[in-house]
Structure 1
Amino acid sequence: MTGGAAADAWDGFWRAAPPGPNTVFWDAAPAEVAAAHLPHFAPHLAQPLPLVDVGCGNGTQTVFLAERHAGPVLGVDLSAEAVARARRTAGAGPAAFRTLDAADADAVRALHRELGDSHVYLRGVLHQAPPAGQAALAAGVAALLGARGRGFVVEPSEAAKAALAGLLRRPGGPPPTLAAVFEHGIAPAGLTEGRLPDLFRAAGLAVLAAGSLPLATTERGADGTPVTLPSNWLVVGRRG
């Protein structure tokens, strides 16, 4: 699912998502998400370039980043419904939002002409796209970074499939936050081990740092502990 079909599916998802916290599977509090990522990304942000949160959704992490980044912060998403929700939630804060498909080469080049070289935050976006879409998104990130930008990319690992399968097999059925994803036709395509760095190397970028972290969700286990997904992260950019 790509292009207009993907935008329609995501618009439907965000239109149906209840307002308020903990209503979207991956929309965990920034203290559990971006705050865990920033220590790994911040050392690579010596240049105060703009920061683009690609696939920002309703802007929860974007707002957190905008309060901590020295340059302007822009959240972009292919879903106009997501962007509208992000604007309502963020209010008059420092984060800005707009509708943009980061797999659209022309749209990304136009944004780069406007902003110049930028840093990029990309969380949990690639695994939702088919292989050709994943390559186009990696190329979009490379175009936004230009010569000086750095990108922080985090995606569920292959091991996350087992955690998701366990949630789907719960005796009472999957949690509503996860069921909603599949109900709108947004079934994850997944990323095999090794494909994540290969995507960005193919787009002309070097992997400058890498690691693994648990990726928080809004769900809780039977014992009340947070449900997390194993994830891999990269910092990418051009050397020199």
Structure 2
Amino acid sequence: MDVSERYREAWEGYWRAASDAPGEVIWDVDPSLSAVPHSELLRPYADASLPVVDLGCGNGTQTRYLATRFARAVGVDLSHAAIEHARRADTGKTAEFEQLDLVDGDAVRALRDRTGDTNVYMRAVIHQSEPQDRPAVARAVAELLGERGRAFVAELTPASKTVLQQAASGPDGPPPKLRRVFDHGLKPAGATDEEVPSLLRAAGLTILATGDTALPQTETMPDGTRMDLPARWFVLARM
């Protein structure tokens, strides 16, 4: 099974239109706001001598930081254009990047065969996936972990929709970075509060720790404050 052609093309179009400028993509925040605190939540549970795979890595900003905390870092993304961005940005060749459809179980298993048991970092992928694909995304996390790996997963909650609506309510409509997301047919905050933990458990994952957080964005609200989207995080192991 693969993702739909519409979904694939939406992401390719988004990343082809994006520049290489840091922060131009709405979720391309500095690692100090994302991978740094997230890895601090993961590391008490994880073996840092194992690799880490960044699922939905985009242009690789967080992957490059994770490469400083784990033995090896691999960033994967559905979009070829995103992987091209990531490889250009990784001037120090600190990480590896490759295109991967998380819904393609054979491709996920092939990656696991190459990496062995691995830790996983996944930020805001399930909520953005099409509903029929979300179980396969959760299964991909479980497949990659094997027996020894641990995962950090952060997903937007439905409360994020309220923040996005507020951001779009200014006199000029959505701010530019958010408008580009909508213009390419991407639909953030699509999963319900209970859907994400239910999908994770159904995939054979056990929740070791969880909590509420916010995923900072590089866009601002109409009042000039930073856009922070309500989210929930999970540290996971395979049952």
- Using the size of structure 1 for normalisation, the TM-score is 0.94
| Larger displacement relative to structure 2 (25-34 or 53-62) | 25-34
Please say if residues 210 and 235 of structure 1, whose CA atoms lie closer than 8 Å, have aligned partners that are also in contact: yes
Q: 1:50 is aligned with what amino acid?
A: P
Change (3 A) 1:79 1:106: same
Which residue number in structure 2 is paired with residue 20 of structure 1? 21
Please say if residues 60 and 86 of structure 1, whose CA atoms lie closer than 8 Å, have aligned partners that are also in contact: yes
Change (3 A) 1:142 1:73: same
SS at match of 2:88: helix
Alpha-carbon distance in 2 for matches of 1:233, 1:22: 23
Q: CA RMSD in A?
A: 1.5
Alpha-carbon distance in 2 for matches of 1:223, 1:217: 15
Question: How far apart are 1:48 and its partner, in Å?
Answer: 1.6
Q: 1:14 is aligned with what amino acid?
A: W
SS at match of 1:144: helix
Alpha-carbon distance in 2 for matches of 1:46, 1:136: 25
**Residue 202 (str. 1) matches residue 194 (str. 2):** no
Which residue number in structure 2 is paired with residue 11 of structure 1? 12
SS at match of 2:44: helix
**Residue 115 (str. 1) matches residue 115 (str. 2):** yes
Alpha-carbon distance in 2 for matches of 1:223, 1:179: 17
Which residue number in structure 2 is paired with residue 175 of structure 1? 175
Question: How far apart are 1:223 and its partner, in Å?
Answer: 4.5
Matches within 5 A, 1:3-152: 3-46=4-47, 48-69=49-70, 71-152=71-152
% same residue: 46
- Using the size of structure 2 for normalisation, the TM-score is 0.95
Please say if residues 3 and 101 of structure 2, whose CA atoms lie closer than 8 Å, have aligned partners that are also in contact: no
SS at match of 2:133: helix
Task: Count matched residues.
Answer: 238
**Residue 164 (str. 1) matches residue 164 (str. 2):** yes
For structure 1, the residue ranges without an aligned partner over 5 or more in a row are none
Change (3 A) 1:7 1:50: same
Alpha-carbon distance in 2 for matches of 1:68, 1:52: 12
Alpha-carbon distance in 1 for matches of 2:79, 2:16: 10
Question: How far apart are 1:120 and its partner, in Å?
Answer: 0.5
